[in-house]
Amino acid sequence: MPEFLRLLSLEEALQRWLPEITHRVPEETLPTEQALGRVLARPVLAQEPIPPFTRSSVDGYAVRAADTHGASDALPAYLRVVGEVPMGQAPDFAIGPGEAALIHTGGMLPQGADAVVMLEYTQPSQADEVEVLRAVAVGENVIQAGEDVQPGQEVFPAGIRLRPAEIGGLMALGVTQVVVRQKPRVAVLSTGDEVIPPHQQPAPGQVRDVNSYTISAMVERYGGHPVRYGIVPDDLEALKAAVRRAFAESDMVVVTAGSSASTRDMTEQALNALGEPGVLVHGLRLKPGKPTILAVAQGKPLIGLPGNPVSALVNTWLLVVPALERLLDLQHPRPRPRVRARLRTNLTSESGRQEWYPVRLIAREDGGFEAEPIFYKSNLIFRLAWADGVTPVPAEATGLPAGMEVEVYLWD
């Protein structure tokens, strides 16, 4: 039986593998409203100030702050109302000493005004007069022109993933098209004489293809374009041909092989045949996922995943996702969502390998969570489907005790 190379930790494997991924997907221009979740390929500079004019942040009266000095419920300041600021237009009047103007949230401050008194702190006294019951300082309840963004300012650097907030910011600047990275094309191949398509009824000894669909869903979830290349039999030449075609047409190749050492050996040979530097990692100090293979050819990432569905999916999350981020030149990855939770039962683990356990989160009355481990064997996909997240057990530990606070990475 072929022996694994020296087993590496997840961190060691990523440090060895990711720098070798030099391939980057091309750029494309998209309408901004279609760019949610895409990675900016070029920085965006503001061409105008935001907001473009000084405006009120509340409903109230535009005033000169000096005219409200000392105002209180017992001793109001009386100001003459000279008009109402029209929404969507510049006011055609100015505020002089002892004067005020009714203004609504977002309204443009009239010339001469330098503050706004909230409506709650005023009351009318006569038809053209208002009582001010509270003093305001210069700039109070006012948003200055350019306070959010100045012209020429870099509002978004290249290499960020666009969220709804960024889409809104771009629209506020009138940026209706953006240059983003194309979605990496990820080839997904399942291998095994026992694997059949999901629509077929398995005969004794056969199993439906799960991995190519879960991997494809994960790839799509994190910004890639998955392409399934079907099921390849346990034949080295057939696998080499399929991998060669997928490699030529894709930015990344992911192969899920069976559990036997011979199928893993075929995967290694097929990936090595694609070019230098070839296989860089064969075997991880990780559970599930010890037999994982990481390779690179012509700067493109190549991955051989275990055939067991839990192992394949967990390692897609741990390894394929960082490779996608590398292909996209993502410079500012955001932390994965996670919560703190208290273990309900003991977790046992094999020392020397980091282990990832699926857990179900149960809300506590105090607003926190308890984490209920879902014990599993690596070919039971529904153990992951029923989980809310996964929690790691460090390689140096032999388990974690009930009641311990752990990090749960939310499973999405």
For residue 32, the domain's CATH number is: 3.90.105.10
First to last CA, the chain: 37
For residue 95, the domain's CATH number is: 2.170.190.11
Whether 368 and 390 map to the same domain: the answer is yes
Whether 133 and 246 map to the same domain: the answer is no
Element at 302 (helix H, strand E): strand 300-305
Count the neighbouring beta carbons within 10 Å of the beta carbon of residue 104: 15
Q: Which of 306, 327, 348 is the last residue of a domain?
A: 327
In a domain, 364, yes or no: yes
| Rounded Cα–Cα distance for residues 280 and 244 (Å) | 18
**Is 157 in contact with 332 (CB distance < 8 Å)?**
yes
pLDDT number for residue 169: 94
Both tokens of 172, joined, read 């506020």
Whether the bond into 51 is cis, omega within 30 of 0: yes
Question: How confident is the model over 108-128, as pLDDT tens digits?
Answer: 999 999 999 999 999 998 889
Q: Which of 143, 170, 202 is the last residue of a domain?
A: 143
Sign of CA dihedral 221, 224, 225, 231: negative
Whether 258 and 189 map to the same domain: the answer is yes
In a domain, 3, yes or no: no
In a domain, 349, yes or no: yes
Whether 218 and 120 map to the same domain: the answer is no
Whether 120 and 72 map to the same domain: the answer is yes
Phi and psi angles of residue 293, each rounded to the nearest 5 degrees, phi first = -120, 130
Sign of CA dihedral 314, 320, 326, 327: negative
In a domain, 1, yes or no: no
Whether 34 and 77 map to the same domain: the answer is no
Q: Angle 54-55-61 (CA atoms, 0-180°, nearest 5)?
A: 125
Nearest to 403 by CA among 371, 375, 374, 376: 371
SS3 assignment, position 124: strand
For residue 221, the domain's CATH number is: 3.40.980.10
Whether 323 and 276 map to the same domain: the answer is yes
Total tally of structural domains belonging to the chain: 4
**Cross-sheet strand order for the sheet of 129-132:** 115-118, 60-63, 99-103, 77-84, 129-132, 122-126
Element at 330 (helix H, strand E): none
Whether 134 and 189 map to the same domain: the answer is no
For residue 391, the domain's CATH number is: 2.40.340.10
Instruction: Give residues with Cβ within 8 angstroms of 235, minimum separation 6.
Output: none
pLDDT number for residue 2: 42
Whether 281 and 240 map to the same domain: the answer is yes
Question: How confident is the model over 59-86, as pLDDT tens digits?
Answer: 999 999 999 999 999 999 999 999 999 9
In a domain, 177, yes or no: yes
In a domain, 5, yes or no: no
pLDDT along the chain (412 residues), means of 10: 64 95 97 97 94 96 97 95 95 96 97 97 92 96 94 95 96 96 97 89 89 94 95 92 97 82 78 94 86 95 90 91 96 89 88 86 92 73 79 87 92 72
pLDDT number for residue 25: 97
Count the neighbouring beta carbons within 10 Å of the beta carbon of residue 157: 12
Whether 113 and 156 map to the same domain: the answer is no
Strands 60-63 and 154-156: unpaired
In a domain, 311, yes or no: yes
pLDDT number for residue 381: 67
Element at 239 (helix H, strand E): helix 236-249
pLDDT number for residue 259: 47
| Rounded Cα–Cα distance for residues 9 and 12 (Å) | 5
Whether 171 and 271 map to the same domain: the answer is no
SS3 assignment, position 248: helix
Whether 38 and 173 map to the same domain: the answer is yes
Residue ranges making up the domain that contains 400: 338-410
| Rounded Cα–Cα distance for residues 76 and 47 (Å) | 44
pTM over 0.95: no
pLDDT number for residue 377: 58
